[in-house]
Chains A and B, each alone.
Chain A
Amino acid sequence: MKLSREEVLHIARLARLGMTGDEVGRMSEQLSHILENFDVLQQVDTAGVPPTAQPNTLQNVLKADEARPSLPQDDVLANAPCREGDFFRVRAVLE
């Protein structure tokens, strides 16, 4: 199980994680080592075994579709790095 620099860069892009050249090298080495050790999972016979997504076997949770009070707009925007009026200011998505 070896993760190449190209694969690391591909995953970093999927995760929207910027990385220096050094970080890419270190990540390739460390992730490869970790995955090699986790390869033991492939030895386990899981034929016919259903996956577990979370442990308390919940099916679904529903609640009434009712309007409830929510946080004041100013509170929600208080941590915004860039605010304009009552909005979060973002960079142009399409350029």
Chain B
Amino acid sequence: MIDDRQLTIHEAHRMLEKREVSSVELTKAMLKRIKKLEPDVKAIVTITEELALKQARSADDRLASGNGSPLNGIPVLIKDVICTRGVKTTCSSRMLENFIPPYDATVMERLNDCGAVVVGKTNMDEFAMGSSTENSAFFTTHNPWDLGRVPGGSSGGSAAAVAAGEAIYALGSDTGGSIRQPASFCSVTGLKPTYGRVSRYGLVAFASSLDQIGPLTQDVTDAALVLNAIAGYDTRDSTSVDIPVPDYTRCLTGDIKGLRLGVPREYFVEGMQPGVADAVNNAIAKLEELGVNIDREVSLPHTPYALAVYHIIAPSEASANLARYDGVKYGYSCQDADSMWQAMEKTRQYGFGAEVKRRIMLGTYALSAGYYDAWYLKAQKVRTLIRREFDAAFEKYDALVTPTSPTVPFKIGEKIDDPLQMYLSDVCTLPVNIAGLPAISVPAGFADGLPVGLQIIAKPFAEETILKIAHAYQQATDWHTKRAGI
């Protein structure tokens, strides 16, 4: 029975508790499914079969001794940007193709403490830069809903794997939409927590003022369960915030009557596919039926500048963060050179792919003498205006609802030669990172048979509000239960 059904965390947990299945059986079924589907989906960079079976056996022991975290014994996939001790962490880059971290990221320690079963590491756009996984140095992941299309990115491997049932849930990272956009494209639930809610210790850095780790799951209850496990203060990430972590499942009451929701019109951008706008409008109407007050006339006038702000700030921070790849301490190292500088230049030339180089160049330019004020500092000031606009909106509204992406999943190869078109895929998600807010994408239907996502955004540390709304929406709809059927 576990071979042909995709279980949620809470369903699998119940089955484990009732001894209807063991973690070893669940894990073996998952590994079997992975082997069957991977030739088509290509979501996984490294399968950790041996580790998974060992963890599953110990989860079964824990279960027998009666301490069962909701995540105990449940198979999970980890985006390959999160350090896993003793397991290759490649960032889908030639630069880190053979890198084996000597330590675990904080989120991994937390999952391991819960008894998680790690079945593998997922494919992504190189160093999390991209919106389709086509920037992976290894291979492109295919969308389970249409194998000719991209799964979104950069956490495309995690999203596709959850959609295909190759794991019960996955972790991703989100710098400008990298959890939510692929969640939208693959019709799964993707949560980007508030900046500072989850420790980034052990997350390979892309843009340090924007990066967050979060879950990709099959429903909102599962997202709450994973957030319970990974949220919280960590002295090893000085940007994590010391605010108590509530039990995020307690807010899932189904009652959202009287909440005030705003629909910012700037998010219905030019070029948005009509089918996407229709699905999102239907979702908003559904929320209205559930008793929320909707204001469709909200305006956040600085939204159109978010794309430029993001693509100045993120590459600037990336150019500094990726300066560490010098071929000396770890990673790819070119030995065929005449001097130290030449070795370094060649290491970076061969170790990085085209998009990573583009961003390093853009960021280096924006930070360089003579251009810093006009580009980087200017972008940081407009960032303040975008934040203030959100702050003002959240005085009137409990949450904002928008499309997650302006389009359904596009075809593999369609946008890869036009970087700017690719950047536009994240136009509805990146303002959220600029302001450090929490947001979720939930399945909201289909346009021409392809998935559409609804994004719900709230003020900092109001994860409970978005989970509550998203959960009520899922109680009233069945989009999240639809399966890709592969």
Contacts and interface: CB of A to CB of B under 8 A. Distances in A.
Which residue among A14, A38, A51, A53 has the maximum number of chain B CB atoms within 10 Å of its CB? A38
B436 A63 contact: no
Interface string B356-371: 0110111011001000
Given A11-B361, A55-B435, A79 B238 contact: no
B312 A41 contact: yes
What is the interface residue range for chain A against chain B? 35 or more
Interface string A9-50: 001101111110001000100110111011011101010011
Interface in B292-342: 302, 304-305, 307-309, 311-312, 319, 323, 326-333, 335, 337, 339-342
Contact of B377 (A19, A42, A51, A79): A51
Contact of B340 (A3, A34, A91): A91
A18 B345 contact: yes
A67 to B, nearest CB: 15
Contacts of B435: 55
B62 to A, nearest CB: 27
B348 A95 contact: no
B29 interface: no
Main secondary structure of the interface of A (DSSP, over half): loop
Contact of A54 (B209, B302, B311, B339): B209
B460 to A, nearest CB: 7
Interface stretch (B99-107, B154-162, B468-476): B99-107
Interface string A57-90: 0100101000000010001101111100000101
Nearest to A44: B382
A91 B339 CA distance: 7
Interface string B204-247: 00001100000000000000000000000001001101000000
Given A51-B384, A81-B327, A11 B365 contact: yes
A15 B364 CA distance: 6
A17 B337 CA distance: 14
Nearest to A49: B381
B364 A80 contact: no
Given A16-B345, A56-B239, A81-B327, A11 B100 contact: no
Contacts of A35: 362, 365
B259 interface: no
A61 B329 CA distance: 28
Nearest to A14: B364
A27 B364 CA distance: 13
Contacts of B397: none
A23 B195 CA distance: 36
Contacts of A49: 381-382, 384-385
Interface in B361-419: 361-362, 364-365, 368, 374-375, 377-385, 387, 419
B343 interface: yes
A31 B343 CA distance: 25
Contacts of B368: 11, 14
Contact of A91 (B99, B238, B307, B343): B343
Given A17-B349, A51-B383, A92-B340, A31 B312 contact: no
Nearest to B417: A30
B33 interface: no
B378 A42 contact: yes
A52, A56, A76: most-surrounded residue (chain B CB, <10 A): A52
A73 B379 CA distance: 41
B2 interface: no
Contacts of B436: 54-56
A48 to B, nearest CB: 9
Interface of A: 3, 7-8, 11-12, 14-19, 23, 27, 30-31, 33-35, 37-38, 40-42, 44, 46, 49-56, 58, 61, 63, 71, 75-76, 78-82, 88, 90-93, 95
